């Protein structure tokens, strides 16, 4: 009887360990910017440039609806840079790339649907806009007060470029 108990406990422990490893692997692979742990040639610096990375919308009324801001992004390097992901820090925010007359997106928050990879190349000296749209009604009536949000633009050459914005939401 004791032997059977030990075997059952051992099997339960092994099962728990397997579930834990699978869960940790899933969480690690689902993180933005994670490529599964492979080697990368990315720089440890931000390679894309933006004249403005912070913006304050000021007071935003829920009654007036969404507000948007465009951030200009430029490739100041001497080689092409591929934009790989665009995502937001909250479900109340959407972001899109505006490349010429094309609109790529909108993209949202990881965990609130799939954030697909993108593959848009910025040649040396080329620029594009990232349009950020904030929905002040997304959090319902309790979503009043100061908010701070972020949008991240990942690329194949360096660290993500981050855009931050704030607002004071009123009814």
One domain, residues 82 and 12: no
- The verdict on residue 7 lying in a domain is yes
Quote the CA–CA distance of 31 and 23 in Å, as a whole number.
Answer: 13
User: DSSP per residue over 140-160, as a string?
Assistant: -TT--EEEEEEEEEEESSSBP
- The verdict on residue 95 lying in a domain is yes
pLDDT higher than threshold 90 for residue 141: no
Contact 95, 165 (CB under 8 A): no
Quote the CA–CA distance of 78 and 124 in Å, as a whole number.
Answer: 5
One domain, residues 127 and 95: yes
- The verdict on residue 159 lying in a domain is yes
pLDDT higher than threshold 60 for residue 42: no
Nearest C-alpha neighbor of 87 from the set 155, 131, 34, 151: 151
One domain, residues 105 and 160: yes
Which position has the higher pLDDT, 5 or 109?
A: 109
Domain around 7: 1-30
**Which whole number is the average pLDDT over 92-104?**
92
Count of CB atoms situated within 10 Å of the CB of 68: 12
Contact 123, 142 (CB under 8 A): no
One domain, residues 15 and 98: no
pLDDT for the residue 38 = 44
pLDDT for the residue 80 = 93
| 2-11, 46-55, 65-74, 125-134: the lowest-pLDDT one | 2-11
One domain, residues 90 and 161: yes
One domain, residues 80 and 119: yes
One domain, residues 139 and 68: yes
Write down the mean pLDDT value for the chain. 84
Distances (CA, A) of 164 to 31, 69, 129, 152: 20, 11, 15, 9
Count of domains for the chain: 2
CATH classification of the domain holding 110: 2.60.40.10
Contact 104, 131 (CB under 8 A): no
| Total residue length of the chain | 171
- The verdict on residue 48 lying in a domain is no
One domain, residues 10 and 60: no
- The verdict on residue 42 lying in a domain is no
């Amino acid at each position: 009887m004791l032997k059977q108990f030990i075997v059952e406990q051992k099997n339960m422990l092994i099962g728990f360990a397997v579930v834990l490893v699978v869960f940790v692997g899933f969480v690690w692979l689902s993180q933005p910017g994670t490529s599964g742990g492979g080697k990368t040639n990315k720089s440890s610096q931000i390679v894309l440039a933006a004249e403005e990375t912070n913006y304050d919308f000021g007071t935003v009324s829920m009654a007036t609806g969404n507000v948007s801001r465009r951030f200009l992004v430029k490739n100041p390097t001497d080689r092409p840079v591929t934009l790989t992901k665009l995502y937001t820090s909250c479900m109340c925010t959407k972001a899109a790339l505006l490349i010429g007359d094309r609109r790529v997106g909108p993209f949202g928050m990881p965990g609130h649907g799939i954030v697909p990879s993108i593959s848009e190349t910025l040649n040396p000296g080329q620029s594009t806009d990232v349009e950020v749209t904030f929905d002040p009604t997304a959090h319902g009536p309790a979503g009043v007060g100061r908010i701070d949000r972020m949008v991240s633009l990942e690329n194949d050459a360096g660290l993500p470029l981050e855009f931050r914005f704030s607002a004071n939401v009123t009814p």
